[in-house]
Structure 1
Amino acid sequence: RWEAAGYVLAPGNTRKRIHVYGTTRKEALAKLTEKIAASNRGVPAPSAQGSVAAHLTYWLEAVAVHQLRENTHTRYTTCINRYLAPGLGKKKLAKLSAKDVRTWLNQLRTTCQCCARGIDTGRDEPRCCTAGSCCSKRLSPLTLAYIHSVLKSALEHAVREEEIPRNVARNVRTGTPRPRRFEPLTTDEARQLLTATRGHRLHALFELALHTGLRKGELLGLRWEDLNLDTGTAAIRCTLQRTAAGGLTTMPTKTRASERRIALPIRCVQSLKLHHEQQQREREAAGTTWLHNGHVFTTAQGRPIDPTNLTRAFITLLRKAGLRRIRL
């Protein structure tokens, strides 16, 4: 075996001595020449000695936790624990190549998840690989694109910290997945839904959702101070979400562009005024147990409404109106 050694650019604008190996003198010299050429282009030699799994753990715990919303961080953690760490975690970060990423994504694309993750073995009655009949449950293109984006974000941080010279995941093309087709309610179906919600204590919420298209979290995060019923406007500043650590939490909108002021249709202004009167009656009935937080839409005791409970109520109303099930 042949060894070649030389000085190359290192992180922090310093230089360090590296060693490369080959089965022939020519091979060792070619490897050293390649690394010196990269150094001359200003690309520092990688300093990462750990595995991909170690870097992903560090990135989640020391970097992403301070930059991402809690729910987004939870989804990233699930993605890494379920797919990235088992698939690429044992590889050395400095030696990870675009070919490794592409090969792994192709394998993920064609592998039945019941088999790969042991889902079938955990069932009371196996109906896939354990039963000898694969159900061919594959990951959707959207899920694959999401996994790829998480890997790109983690490796991009390693590049910024000069642990690796380039983000190899950026050289892998997964294609742009076609989003799931969504069929909203037609005009007649919307009228049926409003008829079904008449008399419901959250009628104003569903009418506002149909007329303005506000997101579920934005509807539940609305406060009376955000509304001006005299001029018929609403300021969208907050969203209500359930997080693992804080429970139901009011937080700013995801982006600055999501903060906006919208015009309220006359019907919504009227229903909101009636809703305000109804809320005052509920407050008087609750007495000292009323929890005042300023939200427009609350429970009968003044507490914020859990988004999951709102979804359940919406599905129940769709069923009552004889309508197909759609997302709120």
Structure 2
Amino acid sequence: MATPRDTPASRRVRANGDGTVYQRKDGRWEAAGYVLAPGNTRRRVRVYGTTRKDALAKLTEKIAASNRGLPVPSAQGSVAAYLTYWLENVAVHHLRENTHTRYTTCVNRYLIPGLGKKKLTKLTAKDIRTWLNQLRTTCQCCTRRLDARRDQPRCCAIGQCCSKLLSPLTLNYIHSVLKSALEHAVREEEIPRNVARNVRTGTPRPRRFEPLTADEARQLLTTAQGHRLHALVELALHTGLRKGELLGLRWEDLNLDAGTAAIRRTLQRTNAGGLTTLPTKTRASERRIAVPARCVQSLKLHREQQQREREAAGAAWQHSGHVFTTAQGGPIEPTNLTRTFLTLLRKADLRRIRFHDLRHSTATLLLEQGVELVVIKELLGHAHIGVTATVYAHVRLRLQRDAMTALGNALDRP
């Protein structure tokens, strides 16, 4: 009687749970067995190899992972299908509407055309790296046919490529959106790991900004004197509040007697809700700040002015409760504030900057006055002090040079 030891390897009976291994008609070997699947269920999987040993090794690896509690990936669809599912069922509930809109644009414009046809479970770091390298060197006029839609083509449509390439910041943003989507696929146990994390895109240079100098800031404040939004410009320069935070400020958030302001919300325009009030950008952005005495005085004058406008508007007055409103009491459109700000810059004969650069101006001027970085971080509402240190690294470097120069002058004196 033959014992299991005497039975040939190809015919030996495997233990229960070890799966089966057999040779197919095409000569390949196939191994099948039950492994752990998402939802604490079990699913039969099949693997193939050129030899019995090869197929058995693949099946053994999957069963060993299953025994460790790692479910087998279940996603059989394409990257495009999963990205669409992620946007419509996951990201929409965790992102602000404007952020979700940017994510959707990024997915539809770059990720799906570039990687959408690949199977989610077969996507590799090499695929992502190759695609990003190609995207980095591809003219967007050619790829998206931008030139063909112009009234007068001036690029690819006439054979003169302008080499309109994506900036490093845009490439980094595209990569981060892909990482976020794949990270959720890992959490849902659709894939075993996030292959996008194995791709390094490099750290892009921070966006350059041109803050106002102390003289320019004084010139802007002088020009804004008498304007109905003078208090807004003055508060922006003294506190570094974001545009949405300024426009979302309500009188109930201010304590003019104590000289404080509670930053709780931001005003933004969204595609679905129009002009709407939203929570602050991050949890750290919800904060209480000190308001300088001159800003308190300006806000008191602004409140008196708003009361006069309310009496003049009569029944047409909109009771929005905002500190900074239109002449009829309604919230101010962010784009209209930008136009007003640019008009003030022209009247002051100052260079064109963004409204957000007033925030950078505040931080830069505070740093130059020797204010501690942690104080500036709290004032600006940054989530981490590393953000403040990174954004204003060039300012700190200049201050270090000034300090070294002052030290050198002191050491040179007899």
Once the two structures are TM-superposed, the CA of residue 125 in structure 1 deviates from its matched residue by: 1.4
Q: Which structure has the larger Rg? A: 2
Which position in structure 2 is the counterpart of 1:139?
166
Cα distance in 2, alignment partners of residues 143 and 27 from structure 1: 44
Q: Please, which of 248, 251, 256 is the counterpart of residue 275 of structure 2?
A: 248
Which position in structure 2 is the counterpart of 1:46?
73
Which position in structure 2 is the counterpart of 1:149?
176
Which position in structure 2 is the counterpart of 1:88?
115
Which position in structure 1 is the counterpart of 2:204?
177
Which position in structure 2 is the counterpart of 1:317?
344
1:49-128 equivalent positions in 2, closer than 5 A? 49-128=76-155
Question: Structure 2 counterpart of 1:152, which letter?
Answer: K
What RMSD over aligned residues (CA atoms) do the two structures have, in Å?
1.6
SS of alignment partner, residue 256 of structure 1:
coil
Once the two structures are TM-superposed, the CA of residue 35 in structure 1 deviates from its matched residue by: 3.6
Greater CA deviation, 44-53 or 216-225? 44-53
Q: Deviations along 1:249-285, whole A, 9 cap, x unmatched?
A: 1111122211111111111111111111110010000
Q: Please, which of 24, 30, 33 is the counterpart of residue 4 of structure 1?
A: 30
SS of alignment partner, residue 284 of structure 2:
helix
Cα distance in 1, alignment partners of residues 162 and 51 from structure 2: 50
Cα distance in 1, alignment partners of residues 29 and 157 from structure 2: 50
Cα distance in 1, alignment partners of residues 162 and 50 from structure 2: 47
Q: Please, which of 203, 220, 223 is the counterpart of residue 196 of structure 1?
A: 223
Q: Answer yes or no: is the 8 Å Cα contact 1:51–1:91 preserved in 2.
A: yes
Once the two structures are TM-superposed, the CA of residue 79 in structure 1 deviates from its matched residue by: 0.7
Cα distance in 2, alignment partners of residues 22 and 88 from structure 1: 28
Aligned length: 328
Counting aligned pairs with the same residue, the percent is 84
Once the two structures are TM-superposed, the CA of residue 6 in structure 1 deviates from its matched residue by: 2.9
Cα distance in 1, alignment partners of residues 246 and 320 from structure 2: 15
Once the two structures are TM-superposed, the CA of residue 107 in structure 1 deviates from its matched residue by: 1.0
Query: Unaligned 5+ residue runs, structure 2?
Result: 1-25, 356-414
Once the two structures are TM-superposed, the CA of residue 52 in structure 1 deviates from its matched residue by: 0.8
Greater CA deviation, 138-147 or 33-42? 33-42
SS of alignment partner, residue 242 of structure 1:
strand
The 1:292–1:92 alpha-carbon spacing in structure 2 relative to 1, beyond 3 Å, is: same
Which position in structure 1 is the counterpart of 2:192?
165
Cα distance in 2, alignment partners of residues 20 and 122 from structure 1: 49
Q: Deviations along 1:92-151, whole A, 9 cap, x unmatched?
A: 111111111111111111111111111111111111111211111111111111111111
Q: Answer yes or no: is the 8 Å Cα contact 1:155–1:169 preserved in 2.
A: yes
Once the two structures are TM-superposed, the CA of residue 24 in structure 1 deviates from its matched residue by: 5.4
1:166-315 equivalent positions in 2, closer than 5 A? 166-315=193-342
Q: Answer yes or no: is the 8 Å Cα contact 2:31–2:55 preserved in 1.
A: no
Cα distance in 1, alignment partners of residues 54 and 146 from structure 2: 46
Q: Answer yes or no: is the 8 Å Cα contact 1:3–1:19 preserved in 2.
A: no
Cα distance in 2, alignment partners of residues 308 and 30 from structure 1: 63
Question: Structure 2 counterpart of 1:181, which letter?
Answer: R
Cα distance in 1, alignment partners of residues 149 and 333 from structure 2: 31
Cα distance in 1, alignment partners of residues 61 and 139 from structure 2: 40
Q: Answer yes or no: is the 8 Å Cα contact 1:289–1:301 preserved in 2.
A: yes
Once the two structures are TM-superposed, the CA of residue 12 in structure 1 deviates from its matched residue by: 2.9
Q: Deviations along 1:178-226, whole A, 9 cap, x unmatched?
A: 2112121000110111121111110100011011110000000000111
Q: Answer yes or no: is the 8 Å Cα contact 1:5–1:17 preserved in 2.
A: no
Query: Unaligned 5+ residue runs, structure 1?
Result: none
Cα distance in 2, alignment partners of residues 244 and 106 from structure 1: 33
Once the two structures are TM-superposed, the CA of residue 26 in structure 1 deviates from its matched residue by: 5.9
SS of alignment partner, residue 303 of structure 2:
helix
Question: Structure 2 counterpart of 1:304, which letter?
Answer: P
Q: Answer yes or no: is the 8 Å Cα contact 1:3–1:21 preserved in 2.
A: yes
User: TM-score scaled to structure 2, two decimals?
Assistant: 0.76
